[in-house]
A and B are shown apart, each in its own frame.
Chain A
Amino acid sequence: MTQTSTVPHQWIADLLFKGLGELFQTASVIFFAPIFLGWVNLCRSCLQSRRPAGILQPYRDLLKLLRKEVVLATGASPLFRITPYIVFGSMGLAAALVPAVTTDLPFGPAADAIALVGIFSLARIFMALSAMDIGTPFGDMGARREMMIAFLAEPATMMVLFTASLISRSTSLSTIAETLGGRHFTLYPSLVFATTSFFLIILAENSRLPIDNPSTHLELTMIHEAMLLEYSGRHLALMEWGSSIKLLLYFSILISFFLPWGISHESSFGGLLSGFAFLVLKLFILGTLLAILESTLAKLRLFRAPEFLAAAYLLAVIAFLSHFILEV
């Protein structure tokens, strides 16, 4: 920071470049999120011997929905109408915070890991409220289930984030990713547990199998879809887009914490490009893994979901404890 005053134009250029990096990362997360979903769906179709719909199918769906008119349920309050924007907005904000492509994010200091969890919660609460707003039994049921899952998953998420921040001695996402990525290769038992736990959390938080099935509208079991039943047109598009961003972000967190190699540490052009390439590669692998996992798992009964999340919490706690006992 000392040279900032001496060479002002360089400082401005630097900031500009950083801003560009930030913009690049945010935009790429937002715009490429549906592709990731498309890739997972494609893999799933292939594994289940169905004809895949093509990797770009989520875009086509979104475009179709954006073109359609919005039908509002009678009695829908303004809350119902603003929710899609809030959900999409919080996901966009989160996309600016999570170090996916680069860790050199000017927005980074604005919010740390705990605040990030808060941002996700904000979106979820609005989603649940709007589902209840209409007053249909399905919306209500979906909202309640979603909140149950969330309330069980949140402590686990916090424990995982705490573990990661204990190792890197910071709760800032960028710093965590930098410390974990920049270190000499060491095996942390705690990180192994935390990764496993976080993977379980991803499944639960993003309404994937075995907690929820994203591809059915089976009324008895659906959770996430039940909340979106009353949405249409661009509202629905934003909600769907938002959840695909959320999925990508969760995987980005997984990557930046537990597989951080290759992530860019500075906002140089080459760095950004290589960071992006690494991200795509890792997402490609993880997406395939997710698809395989989802094809082999059966959906759990709703009453077994607490067990699933208890396991996640347990793993997170073991991670937390084994940091103290094995690594200090």
Chain B
Amino acid sequence: MLVLSVLAIPLLSAVILAFLGQKPWAYLLNAGLTFLTFIDSLFLAKKVLESGPVLALKETFYVDSFNIFLISLTAFVGLTTAIFSGPYMKIEEKKGKITPKILRLYHSAYQIFLFTMLLALSSNNLGILWVAIEGATLATVLLVSLYRTRASIEAAWKYFILCGVGISQALFGTILLYFAAEKILGSGGGALLWTHLFQIRFELEPTVLKIAFVFLLVGYGTKVGLAPLHNWLPDAHAEGPTPISAVLSGLLLNVALYALVRCKVLVDGALHSNLASEMMMGFGLLTMVVAVFSMLRRKDVKRLFAYSSIEHMGIATFAFGMGGPLATFAALLHMTVHSLTKSSIFFSVGHAAQINQTQQMSEIRGLIRKVPRLGWGLMLGSFAILGMPPFGVFASEFIVLTVAMKQAPWTTPILLLCLAVAFGVIFFRVGNMVLGEGVRMALPYPPALFPVFLHLALVLVLGLFIPPFLAHWYQSAARFIG
């Protein structure tokens, strides 16, 4: 029942926030309700940690060591983003970029978005998983076009069409999966339930699963931001409001990758070959290369970090592709730290853009002088995302590199090159933005910068030492993903 309540809170919140209207304190309510979700998810995590995987509502929902940490992470980043978005949106409103009416849509759709992601994560049914991910697209598409500017509408349209097309391929893959499973499990709901599929994964028809995986990879891969269908991602990130960029990068990409990994486990079982692994490795590498070299010429700060998200998703996909407990562990860790770091960066970047009235990097200068806390936040966040030693990203990237050296040595130079280029570009750009002359400035409302530092602190902790319960979590998840 705990699972249901985790899902019910955001859904109810969406309704409440939609009916409540344009109250000035709606943002507080938004944060408060998300806080409830987060607390609830912690209880769920505790339960799973203590008594193993949970099945609920006639096996419709399934929470195990793999998705519970993503559920908690989603709820947590959802919470901090809600806290951050309060002042941020108020400033936007003051600047006249949005109206209270739109704010109401924003709050409501935000909760629906959380709901769809939690549904995708906790669902045991692969069909529902697909529906929830499509639902997440639908919920965010109007959020991306929130400012109603030409660029934002165009970005939202691109997002909608590309993801719609991509996700349709995933549905075809799901149909094929069902088709293969149905012959063993019989028709009816059972053949799409992941727990059942997992048990019979060695008996599934290999040829069908092979084709199914190609479709699933293309489909969910679009959503993960894998090249060559990554085009929607920078646009949606750059033109949408910053809190949405933060949750898209920090959460949605993770959820899509989660879906892909769930399917990969089944395909690996059926195939007796490394096809799925090799394809994921290949796409991961390609994505990294494409993303890193696209970074070079970016001038828009949010776009730069959007490409960085693509790069990191490439790393995680690559790591999942390599497989084995160590690489999978690294991939899971990387998903966590990337999600925390990237959302914190977007928080800082959002306010930085507000202060400078532009997202063009060339016009943002001396952030540390202007708003010291913000400047430091952005700088530390960038250090973290670049994989500087004390932070968690370093740990995960380091493990990925070591495993790659052992399992696929030829990929190491490519990985190193990508990391180096990304390092150079971001280091140089961020340096120019945070350093330099500037006069102290203030935002109309005090920004909520506490989430920025909270995230970074967590990433730091994860880099220095992983708490035993978390390590145990990751390991048990990594074990069964293989």
A–B contact, 8 Å CB criterion (strictly below) = no
